[in-house]
Copies of this chain bind each other. A is one copy, B any other.
């Protein structure tokens, strides 16, 4: 059985500035630079793959001394999005990266200071450039006589990432141009058959979690890729008579579990990691993890709200 801090340490492994590990680790990365600002981190194997592109010199400017990677030409959204697209399409064609086998055909937005769109990028390729991505995670719960119960889905066993793992009630990524609440409403309908009106009127925005996720074997694809993430969190209190059921094929089934059962599954490592983080935050907001019962209370709170230092919309 793992501690809550173990769950965090397993995946939020990007060190903090002012530590020895940070200097060593940062020295191994390249910086994706846009108009003088770092907007992503690349591991060396990705930089190698850029150098191996036939169109490399057309699109990319790489400085091995400064460890910077830049897109050439006028930094317009259109031009840069196109250059990124050509790059990842080429990689996909040549099967350079396993993560691109999970091609989503969905564009994520990448921002640069002062919060403007820099370019759009195919969702499955965002971790290759270590750019910040956004999602929504919602926990639906019931106040029963026996205490709080949570609606927990199991991901379809054939899902390309984390198949069979437990999840938050509803979760999804923000495609370019989308706002958090609209994504939540859509995903809640698709994943849990929750009526749009119910979600729109009752889902409560309860904060964010932000962290540097480092991809491991469970994520599928290359290991060590950096994935800074921001999850917009929501709570939804439901009456006992509402029963959640899968709508699309992404969910295997739904469970309505008490807090102790959820905590056990969490500590046994059965949740998808970033869903575990959202759940830990839920437990902290609902008086389940407290300063009295959790010795790493302050550390957990800070680790889940890292200031990532990237531009946001």
A-side interface residues toward B, CB under 8 Å?
16-18, 115, 179-181, 204-208, 210, 230, 232, 281, 284-287, 289-292, 295, 297-299, 301-309, 312
- Given A179-B291, A180-B292, A309 and B16 contact (CB-CB distance below 8 Å): yes
Q: Bound state CA distance, A208 and B295, in angstroms? A: 13
Q: Bound state CA distance, A290 and B207, in angstroms? A: 8
Q: How far is the CB of A270 from chain B (nearest CB, A)?
A: 24
The answer to whether B205 and A291 touch across the interface, beta carbons within 8 angstroms, is yes
Chain B hits for A284, CB < 8 A:
205-207
Q: How far is the CB of A264 from chain B (nearest CB, A)?
A: 21
Q: Bound state CA distance, A99 and B291, in angstroms? A: 30
Partner of A298, one of B208, B292, B302: B208
Q: How far is the CB of A305 from chain B (nearest CB, A)?
A: 3
Q: Which of chain B's residues has its CB closest to A299's CB?
A: B312
Partner of A291, one of B232, B303, B308: B232
Chain B hits for A302, CB < 8 A:
208, 210, 305-308
Q: Which of chain B's residues has its CB closest to A304's CB?
A: B305
The answer to whether A291 and B181 touch across the interface, beta carbons within 8 angstroms, is yes
Q: Bound state CA distance, A273 and B308, in angstroms? A: 24
The answer to whether B307 and A210 touch across the interface, beta carbons within 8 angstroms, is no
The answer to whether B208 and A285 touch across the interface, beta carbons within 8 angstroms, is no
Q: Bound state CA distance, A206 and B292, in angstroms? A: 12
10 other A-B residue contacts (CB within 8 Å) besides A181-B292, A302-B306, A306-B307: A16-B309, A17-B17, A179-B292, A181-B291, A204-B286, A205-B290, A206-B287, A207-B281, A208-B302, A299-B312
Q: Bound state CA distance, A284 and B204, in angstroms? A: 10
Partner of A16, one of B232, B286, B303, B307: B307
26 sampled A-B residue pairs with Cβ under 8 A: A16-B17, A16-B307, A16-B309, A17-B17, A17-B18, A18-B309, A180-B292, A181-B292, A205-B291, A206-B285, A206-B287, A207-B281, A207-B284, A207-B285, A207-B301, A208-B291, A208-B302, A210-B301, A230-B298, A232-B291, A232-B297, A301-B305, A303-B307, A304-B305, A305-B305, A306-B307
Q: Bound state CA distance, A284 and B305, in angstroms? A: 13
Chain B hits for A208, CB < 8 A:
291, 297-298, 301-302
Q: Bound state CA distance, A210 and B299, in angstroms? A: 10
Chain B hits for A308, CB < 8 A:
302
Q: How far is the CB of A14 from chain B (nearest CB, A)?
A: 12
Q: Which of chain B's residues has its CB closest to A210's CB?
A: B302
Q: Bound state CA distance, A286 and B302, in angstroms? A: 20
Chain B hits for A180, CB < 8 A:
291-292
Chain B hits for A307, CB < 8 A:
16, 299, 302-303, 306
